[in-house]
Chain A
Amino acid sequence: MSSLFAIGPGAVRVWRGYRAPTMAQDAFFKNLGTVFVPATVKMQIAIGLNCYLPSVPAGLPGKPDTVPDETAILFWGTQDTYTNGFKTLAVRTYTLTHNAVYRPPSGATFPEVFAGTLTSEQPVYLFDRSADWMKGAVRHLLGSRPAALTPADFQKKIAEELASIQKAGQLEGAIACAGDDYLVYWELGPASAGRLDGLVANLAWSKLIDCVPTAIDAGLWNEWPGMTINSGDGFNMQFQRRWEA
């Protein structure tokens, strides 16, 4: 693997978004497909976006409101690449397109290396090695806390399962974030029967989404109606990184 493809595991923003109640679900999907997802790619490649994998669980049957409506992982060259992006108009503009669409506690944070325990709303990565998430098979598991578990017990049980996955060491990468009421988890590498059973067993509601490689065949100023986005879709956006040009 070229060192150019060595994308560090800590330089990823882990986004958990909740649809604003003022925005109807159809309008939410339309905004994602016509503005947010394409703008994320087209406006941020030039300042160092390396991988972008959005998923849209909004509207899935049985999904509790406490589970995010949209999730995404966005990899940058480094954490500073992301921070420095705000010095540019493109990133300031892109960021402010979100205001009317999401409600608190929507947000994104960088992960820490997983050391056996979870803190609510703090993402973790399980494997401290570089990987290129754009080029591999990515699955995304989401789920809700069972009512019988307290948030602390829920996070403890999830942490035990993550430790098991970490110990097995079969994946190129894995990222997780647990809130008091939800889990979001992404893994990069070949699928393996039963690997996720332990996590799923500790979720009341769950959904596994394959992040489908998807390219946008239009630029910022081409006439293009946008992507069609439906409930349960997951994408692994394919684009030429700035260092690949």
Chain B
Amino acid sequence: MSRHPVAPDSVHVWRGYKAPQKGYGDFSKFLGTVFVPSCALLQPNAGLCAYVPTMVPPVGKPAGVPDQTALMFWADQDHYAGAFKKVAVRAYTNLHGDAYDTTLSSAQFPVQFAGDLKAEQPYFLLNRKADWMLGYVYHFVGARPQSQAPKDFIAALATWASSYETHHKSSVDNALLCVGNDYVALWEHSATADGSFGHGIGNLATPCLDRVAENYVPPATLWDDWPGIDLDAHACINIQLVRPERQNDST
């Protein structure tokens, strides 16, 4: 399988909150039967290079923590913008419908961390290219401790991020961080599964999700009989996309 390493600012970092009128079961079913598999099958030919969707376990999760997260890596930001020139991507984009609370849900490209954290701005902590579809993706989602003010929570995470470049697990080649007033989300990418992930972030937030993503191979194409993905059974997945070959991808 050829590699598709991409720059760390070529990822759309999604934090989704279910629409208030939707029950969690319906939300999970919609995402699993249509939304997540559509993203995985409609967009690689438009430049999607890696896709890591995650359902955050709902039991005990504070409302301010996203119900779903996703990383969507593109060849670069121009490919993301250009994807809308294609019918397949326009159709996928029209799907958002009423699944999400659109006043809270959003996605942005990250910027390089430079000492301060701004709520709802994703950051990359290491400035290296990586192919997130291959290897291991660790994901942590945590809630702000109730006793801590949002400002102090974010400041503590900024301090944590400041030491990341010199103290992270050695095999990690890329990491993404996004904080809100009530949550923190961290993703790390590594070529190996050994050693500990997270660099101690679990000491700063109440864990809602703390695991390595499962590699998931879709068993069907767009036009096969297939009910979709059971996201209760496969809650945090690194979907193995069928990517078109690119030139100069062997490095």
Contact = CB atoms under 8 A, between A and B. Distances in A.
Interface of A: 31, 34-35, 38-39, 42-43, 46-47, 84, 87-90, 92-94, 96-97, 99-100, 218-226
Interface range for B = 20 to 34
B37 A100 contact: no
B97 A35 contact: no
Contacts of B97: 96, 99-100
Interface in B81-136: 82, 85-88, 90-92, 94-95, 97-98
Interface in B208-231: 220, 222-228
A222 B86 contact: yes
Contacts, number: 84
A121 B19 CA distance: 33
Contact of A35 (B38, B85, B90): B90
A35 B226 CA distance: 23
B91 A97 contact: yes
B33 A92 contact: yes
A226 B86 CA distance: 9
B223 A88 contact: yes
Given A43-B222, A93-B91, 12 more contacts: A42-B87, A43-B91, A88-B222, A88-B223, A89-B222, A90-B222, A97-B91, A97-B94, A100-B97, A221-B86, A222-B86, A225-B85
A97 B226 CA distance: 19
A94 B34 CA distance: 10
A38 B92 contact: no
Nearest to A48: B223
Nearest to A42: B87
A87 B87 contact: no
Contacts of B38: 89, 93
Contacts of A224: 85-87
6 contacts: A92-B33, A93-B91, A97-B94, A100-B98, A220-B87, A226-B90
B45 interface: yes
Give the top 6 A-B pairs by smallest Cβ distance, nearest first. A221-B45, A97-B94, A220-B88, A90-B222, A87-B225, A46-B223
Q: Which of B38, B46, B223, B226 has the most CB of A within 10 A?
A: B223
Nearest to B228: A89
B88 A221 contact: yes
Contacts of B224: 88-89
B86 A47 contact: no
A48 to B, nearest CB: 10
Contacts of A100: 94, 97-98
Given A93-B95, A221-B46, A223-B82, A35 B87 contact: yes
B225 A88 contact: yes
A96 B223 contact: no
Contacts of B34: 89, 92-93, 96
A220 B222 CA distance: 12
Contacts of B98: 99-100
Contacts of B225: 84, 87-88
Contacts of B88: 220-221
A226 B94 CA distance: 15
B51 to A, nearest CB: 15
B228 to A, nearest CB: 7
Nearest to B93: A35
A87 B226 contact: yes
Contacts of B45: 220-221
Contact of B91 (A35, A47, A222): A35
Contact of A97 (B33, B86, B95, B222): B95
Interface string B22-44: 00000000000110011001100
Nearest to A97: B94
Contacts of A92: 33-34, 228
Q: Which of B37, B46, B94 has the most CB of A within 10 A?
A: B94
A34 B95 CA distance: 14
Q: Which of B87, B92, B228 has the most CB of A within 10 A?
A: B87
A156 B226 CA distance: 45
Given A92-B34, A100-B94, A226 B228 contact: no
Nearest to A44: B223
Interface string B227-247: 110000000000000000000
